Chain A
Amino acid sequence: MKTFTFAAGLFLATGAVTVAAAQEVLTVYAPDYFVSEWGPGPKIEELFEAQCGCDLQFKPGELLPRIMLEGERTGADVVIGLNTDVTKKARESGLFAPHGVDLSPLTLPLDWTDDVFLPFNYGHTAFVYDATKMEPPASLEAMETLPEDVRIVIQDPRTSISGLALVLWIKSVYGDEAGAFWEALAPNIVTVTKGWSESYGLFTDGEADMVLSYTTSPVYHIIAEGDETKKAAIFPEGHYFMVELAAKVAGSDQPELAQQFMDFILSRDFQSMIATGNWSFPAALPRDEWPEGFQKLDLPEEVIFYSEDEAAALRDEAIEEWRRALSR
């Protein structure tokens, strides 16, 4: 045990040195990808610290489970990166306060009036394919009759937000027939992964011709790699809308800094670095101000979205239909 105590002391000591500065600290919980050196986190930190004179600290990891575990004693002042499919649980926990931000600058493809959860970026669930290997199906319905040799990887709705969005997407288009859709698609599904990273890795390695991802995925390849062969198949039935949200923690001991951060989210500074920082569409920036690669993207005309109550009510049924059809 001595070793452990010693090691613990060592880490605590090194930790203490880095936060020695006597500034006020704003703690923001964010997803892992968000705070990595390639994510938008470092840039946001730099921009916000310049205007608040405070120390913005991102704490990455699982968002909602952690907040729920911590309850009212949470160390977070703001949470960024929540998804609509978990907001019901988050709202019912009573841990979040109204954001008080003017929503008129929003440029989302649908109306947004939520007074607790503030959108900062969005995308749509889409099947991304390799244009050198296949012709895209023209519609969701055409996915049912794909040639046998087209291989698809998707994410598990029980472990991944994008996987959950997919089963809700199918549920919203097919209703009670969702199970039949899954049975028709099953022969093409090579495998199901725990999260998006594994799926996308399989796709870029050539293990699959199509992967469940986002309408914005191709733009990464266009801008960062000059590769225009990865495309999102656009379906007339519409695409499931995915939006990422921020919320202020009700019990925050830095309410003013937290509010300042919430206001910062819809500002031009913040919004204009979302596109290439987070590879998604900014929530409050007109289309003509998006980077060029983004403007060229094919976008769905129809957007599908469940309110959190609808999503919560349908979730278990949609997952169970998926599970049963793919377990055969």
Chain B
Amino acid sequence: MAARALPLIAGAALASLTLGPVAVVLLRAGGLGALAPGDLAALRFTFVQAMISAAVSVTLAVPVARALVRQRFPGRAALVALMGAPFILPVIVAVMGLIAVFGRNGLVNGLLGALNLPLVDVYGLHGVVLAHVFFNLPLAVRMLLNGWQAVPGERLRLAASLGLSRGAMWRVIDAPVVLRVAPGAFVVIFVICLTSFAVALTLGGGPRATTVELAIYQAMRFDFDLGRAAALALVQLALGLAAGLVALKVARGEGFGAGRDRIVPRRDGRGWARGADFAWIVAAALFLLVPLGTVMTRGTAGLLLLGPDTFRAAGHSVAVALASTLLCMGWAMALANRRGELLALSAIAVSPLVLGTGLFLMLRPFVNPFSMALPVTALVNALMGLPFALRIIVPQAEAVEADFGRLRASLGMTGFAWWRLVWLPRLRRPLGFASGLVAALAMGDLGVIALFADPDRATLPLQVYRLMGSYQMEAAAGAALLLLGLSLGAFVLLDRGGRLADA
């Protein structure tokens, strides 16, 4: 009984926390507002860039993840962990890192210039896609890796003993993994790119690259047109949900059958395939790690300039990240099925600005919203992290259900025993990865805190902006490095926690 009620309660809480704020904003506005000139163009651009970004991220992730599955080499674990870092960088830090590599004075143009080749310009649709791939390629790679790791070793042994050709391996083992994981990864990335606007604006090169989220920002902060903001937020939500429905229909859910969880090395990554695999790994590592490296070098000097304000902000960010992660994982475990996932997807497709404003209006009659700045930030970040967490957990949860469901029925296991003995141990790895991701994301988020900001309760990303606003570019780079360290630390710690027994 209790086991049945839990998902329902979790689902209802999620729905009311996502749709409630939108409804409150609408109510306050007294109805939907009309769209402005340029909104249609913004809608088109938003859709196109999100489609391309998601498609490129997932397509490139397939060979990279397969290379990482097939090959073993020293430092592989560290590389996998580090490659996850771009996703958790605060937008402004990542953009500065990318510009240091691909900008006019960047490394790439330095190299091209030295070779007397024409320079490249990073600003434009391709710049937006470049940044979104930088953010999301690692996410897609890790999702696929998790999918491959769920293939029982027994299958690989069987494949090896049958002497399957490379093509046959692809058909029998790899393609099903990709088909199961890729559509979901595509949707999550598509939806993240929908709500992005700082990246699109900075690297887009001008108003051509306007996204719906920018129009929401303008309506909300500048025109104070809540009706138009709510209308735009609903358009964005519909777009995200439609994408979610399509992709979840496409994704196939069956598992590979139960195994004994042994790690079996793959035998098909030899000869020329080995060379190709390493080419993919090196290319991905360069693309993801060089901009990170520049963020680190630039920030080192700034570390010495950091004052007590910054360290206090760092403490707040850590607390927010912890609270978000606990809340999000509790939610995720209760909602680890497809219906829950669609519900969660709507949470992230709702504009963070509208969500924050709605929560502000809801809290206002009861408490001083300022004093709630950090809890609200933690809550919103838990909401925002939920689709990622579910996307990572659900495929495996479904596979466990398919593979062990009969066992449960025949043994008549109670809900708790099932959860403790079968579910949790089998989902340890995705749970660790998901909580690492959520913690790191919450650490780097800026969205909501800006609306509620209080000088005593700033988070680290907000502090980075404050430093830049006071011409303290070097200290800002130092604070950004601190943020990177904390995010990465939280991610690695939690992710490792999930993989401890693999070693």
A: which residues have CB within 8 A of B? 1, 3-4, 7-8, 10-12, 15, 18, 32-33, 35-39, 41, 58-62, 64-66, 68-70, 73, 75, 86, 89, 151, 156, 158-159, 164, 186, 189-194, 196-198, 200-202, 204-207, 220, 224, 279, 320, 322-323, 326-327
Contacts and interface: CB of A to CB of B under 8 A. Distances in A.
B453 A3 contact: no
B204 A191 contact: yes
A75 B369 CA distance: 10
A18 B456 contact: yes
A220 B468 CA distance: 13
A156 B99 contact: no
B207 A192 contact: yes
Interface string B62-96: 00000000000000000000000000000010011
Contacts of B13: 1
A164 B218 CA distance: 12
Contacts of A186: 206
Given A7-B319, A60-B455, A207-B99, A194 B198 contact: yes
Given A64-B224, A323-B38, A189 B206 contact: yes
Nearest to A18: B456
B208 interface: yes
B374 interface: yes
Contacts of B466: 32-33, 36, 39, 60
Contacts of B372: 8, 11-12
Decide if the interface of chain A is mainly helix, strand, loop or mixed. Answer: helix
A73 B293 CA distance: 48
Contact of A4 (B38, B202, B378, B467): B378
A326 B470 contact: no
Does more than half of chain B's interface fall in helix, strand or loop, or is it mixed? helix
B284 interface: no
Contact of A38 (B197, B453, B454, B472): B472
Contacts of A65: 220-221, 224, 451
12 contacts: A4-B382, A7-B322, A11-B457, A36-B470, A38-B467, A66-B451, A69-B28, A159-B214, A197-B92, A198-B198, A322-B207, A327-B206
B319 A191 contact: no
Interface in B92-110: 92, 95-96, 99-100, 103-105
Contacts of A38: 467, 470-472
B201 A193 contact: yes
Contacts of A39: 466, 469-470
A37 B246 CA distance: 49
A193 B465 CA distance: 14
A166 to B, nearest CB: 13
Contact of A206 (B105, B207, B371): B105
B46 to A, nearest CB: 15
A110 B462 CA distance: 36
B206 A62 contact: no
A158 B206 CA distance: 12
Contacts of A158: 214-215, 217-218, 222
Given A33-B470, A204-B473, A60 B453 contact: yes
Contact of B207 (A15, A62, A207, A327): A327
A320 B37 contact: yes
Nearest to B382: A4
Interface stretch (B155-163, B272-280, B357-365, B386-394): B357-365
Most B C-beta atoms less than 10 A away, residue of A18, A164, A194:
A194
Nearest to A190: B123
B469 A197 contact: yes
Contacts of A156: 201, 207, 214
B201 A201 contact: no
Contacts of A326: 206-208
A4 B215 CA distance: 32
A36 B469 contact: yes
A4 B379 contact: yes
Given A1-B13, A3-B330, A206-B104, 11 more contacts: A3-B326, A4-B382, A68-B224, A69-B361, A158-B215, A159-B214, A190-B123, A190-B205, A191-B202, A192-B205, A323-B207
